[in-house]
Amino acid sequence: MGQEIHTIIIGGGPAGLAAAIRLGRHHRVLILEKEAECGGKLNQWDKLFPDFEDAKTVRQTLLQRLPENVTVQTSANVTEVAQESGKWKVTLQNGETHIAPTLLLATGFEPFNAIRKEEYGYGIYPNVITSVELESMIAKGEILTREGKKPQSVAYIQCVGSRDEKVGNHFCSVNCCICAVKQSIEVKQLLPQANQFCFYMDLRMSGRNYEERYRESQEKYHVNFIRGRVSETSVTANNQILVKAEDTLLSRPIKMKVDLLVLMVGMEPSPSTRQFAEKLGISDPYGYFVSQNSETADNATVHKGLFVAGSAKRPMPVPQALKEGEAAACEIAGYLSDNL
Amino acid sequence: MKSFGFNLKPTRTYDIDTQNDLCAEIAEKVPSFRQCMFCGSCSGTCSAATHVDFHILQYNILFRRGLQSEIADKLDQCMLCGKCGMVCPRGVNTRAMIMEIRKILSNHAK
Ligand code: SF4
Ligand code: SF4
Ligand code: SF4
């Protein structure tokens, strides 16, 4: 790139791409993506709640909208970011450096590692899987237990790795309630005979069509919602999972055997998010980025020229991450016109 | 057997796998049965519950979980006044639900 770059964006997921689409119209932008292709977690997802939009189509649309001024560098592993004489210097693993007056961190999240909730048996009992694994089964159109059978009963556990002091995460991951509703609908479409149970503490359905889909999952897809956090699981001789919880609306312990148990894993800051948050002193207690002001400067940080966007700040659904990227682009454009 | 002067209490845990699921049966007659979100508005407004030990939401859930034997004689205390249906935010036809549960239970008792 011969001319000076205005903005470096680390992370080519929804927030980073959305920011580049806006900024790239009038500024030169460089996206550094650590994976082999852009799209972030969209690449691991099949359909999006609530309209069952195809994640690949969303990703494709974003990539097509990138203006010419945007350069994308994939497999670019950023090891260091530092402020240097009023600019931001980014160093890659291969020693390459890039400098720009503004830097946007859109380094995203990673799914909670369910092995840490040992009482749910993930990694121990073969028929305990995560929502991420279920999503790829749904994408293939085939839901099978480890023994290769179609499950007759499926249970979902909400809030795995979220709202749980035991794993150090007090926060709600926002996306897992809606994900359970979405996946239980899709599973029922693929396995019309299956009985489904969803163990929840609260069902958080706060967007357009969210509550409607929840209602639909009950009315049309007969999902049984049971209020109570599963306390433990064990395995039976034929690899079914025995689930124990309190049916809190009856004040009575409940147990059941299911063929497949799905853990709705929460969202934690990605390793890069944690690393930069700590290095730059903008970390919240969990390792997410803290903006300058959550009301009036939610994409700026305490550092001049440094901006943050998307699920590296806190868990959020895809549409919000896209808006985040656009909002960050506005703040960056304003900063550039004031300072250049 | 030698008596030690105590015996074991039966477990309070209920095993949903061994219960008789009659949800499909009632939902066929009262489709709105599936719409319930267990908010408790019905119980809160119930004229019977003000005076006697009567919990319409609880009986609804016991029925859903297949624990019908526990509510067999309870629903008779309902006056079928319909107040619960007036407040239900999910449009459950609670009175029809109660009458239908009564019918199903008496049929199954036969
Ligand atoms: S979105 Fe739902 S499942 Fe996820 S942490 Fe929040 S309450 Fe729990
Ligand atoms: S119809 Fe029965 S359950 Fe409903 S408010 Fe009246 S007495 Fe209570
Ligand atoms: S008021 Fe309606 S939705 Fe609420 S618990 Fe009663 S029947 Fe269910």
Topology of the domain covering A7-108+270-339? FAD/NAD(P)-binding domain (3.50.50)
- Look at residue B12 and tell me if it is in a domain: no
DSSP bridge pairs for A129: A262
In a domain, B1, yes or no: no
Rounded distance between C-alpha atoms, residue B26 and residue B23, angstroms: 5
Q: Which of B35, B57, B65 sits opposite A219 (nearest CB)?
A: B35
Give the residue whose CA is nearest to atom 8 of ligand 2.
B46
Phi, psi of A44, deg, nearest 5 = -100, 0
Structure letter (DSSP) for residue A25: T
Domain boundaries, chain A: 7-108+270-339, 114-267
For chain A, state the CA radius of gyration: 22
User: Domain A114-267 class?
Assistant: alpha beta
* Contact across the interface for B65 and A257, Cβ inside 8 Å: no
Whether A148 shows a pLDDT value over 70: the answer reads yes
Nearest CA, atom 4, ligand 1: A176
Over residues A73-81, the mean pLDDT reads 97
Closest C-alpha to ligand 3, atom 3: B36
- Beta-carbon contacts of A27 under 8 Å, excluding residues fewer than 6 positions away, are A6, A7, A69, A332, A333, A336
Would you call A257 an interface residue with chain B, using a CB distance cutoff of 8 Å?
yes
The whole-number average pLDDT for the span A142-163 is 97
Mutation to test the A interface, candidates B22, B60, B64, B65, most A Cβ within 10 Å:
B65
> Which chain A residues are closer than 8 Å to B14 by Cβ?
247, 252-255
Residue with tokens 């109660």: B98
pLDDT one-digit tens code per residue, A280-316: 999 999 999 999 999 999 999 999 999 999 999 999 9
pLDDT class for A168, splitting at 50, 70, 90? very high
Alpha-carbon dihedral A28, A298, A180, A51, rounded to 10 degrees: -60
Chain B residues with CB under 8 Å of A224 CB are: 64
Q: Kindly list the residues from chain A whose CB atom is less than 8 angstroms away from the CB atom of residue B34.
A: 218-219, 222
pLDDT-derived band at A2 (thresholds 50, 70, 90) equals low
- Residue A3, judged by CB atoms within 10 A of its CB (0-12, 13-18, 19+), counts as exposed
Residue B19 is predicted with a pLDDT of 80
Tokens of B86: 């007036």
Average pLDDT estimate for A162-181: 97
**What residues contact residue A217 under an 8 Å CB cut-off, 6+ apart?**
A181, A184, A185, A223
Q: Which of A107-111, A163-167, A184-188, A336-340 has the least mean pLDDT?
A: A336-340
Instruction: Concatenate the DSSP letters of all residues of A56-102 into one string.
Output: HHHHHHHHHH--TTEEEE-S--EEEEEEETTEEEEEETTS-EEEESE
Instruction: Give A268 to chain B, closest Cα distance, Å.
Output: 30
Probe ligand 2: pick from B36, B50, B54, B56, max atoms within 8 Å of CB? B56
Chain B residue with minimum CA distance to A259: B17
Q: How far is B18 from chain A (nearest CA, A)?
A: 9
How high is the pLDDT of residue B35?
Answer: 96
Nearest ligand 1 atom to the CA of A202 is 7
In the predicted structure, residue A1 carries a pLDDT above the cut 60: no
- Domain-located, residue B6: no
d(CA A328, CA A106): 10
Q: How many domains would you assign to chain B? A: 1
Residue of chain A whose Cα is closest to the Cα of B14: A254
B91 lines ligand 3 (CB under 6 A): no
Cβ–Cβ of A215/B57 closer than 8 Å? no
Interface confidence, given as ipTM, is: 0.90
Q: Domain span at residue B51?
A: 36-109
3-state helix, strand, coil in chain B (%, to 5): 50, 0, 45
Q: What is the DSSP string of A178-246?
A: HHHHHHHHHHHHH-TT-EEEEEES-----STTHHHHHHHHHHTT-PEEEES---EEEE-TTS-EEEEEE
Regarding the beta carbon of B108 and ligand 3, being less than 6 Å apart is answered: no
Each residue's pLDDT tens digit, B1-45: 678 888 888 888 988 888 888 899 999 999 999 999 999 999 999
B17 vs A219, A225, A256: nearest CB: A256
Chain B closest-CA separation from residue A255 CA (Å): 5
**Per-residue pLDDT tens for A21-46?**
999 999 999 999 999 999 999 999 99
Residue B70: CB atoms within 10 Å: 14
Q: What is the pLDDT of residue B1?
A: 65
pLDDT at res. B3:
80
How far A254 CA sits from the closest chain B CA (Å)? 5
CB contact under 8 A, A244 and B57: no
Is the distance from the beta carbon of residue A204 to the nearest atom of ligand 1 less than 6 Å? Answer: yes
pLDDT above 90 covers a percentage of chain A that reads: 98
How many whole angstroms separate alpha carbon A52 and alpha carbon A217? 14
What is the model's pLDDT at position B7? 83
pLDDT in tens, A222-256: 999 999 999 999 999 999 999 999 999 999 999 99
Is pLDDT at B107 greater than 90 in this prediction?
Answer: no
What average pLDDT does this structure show over B92-96? 96
Tokens of A131: 């929502």
For ligand 3, whether the C-beta of B90 sits within 6 Å is: yes
Ligand showing the shortest atom-to-Cα distance for residue B75? 2
| Residue A207: Cβ-neighbour burial (10 angstroms; 0-12, 13-18, 19+) | middle
Q: Rounded CA gap, B12 and B15, in Å?
A: 10
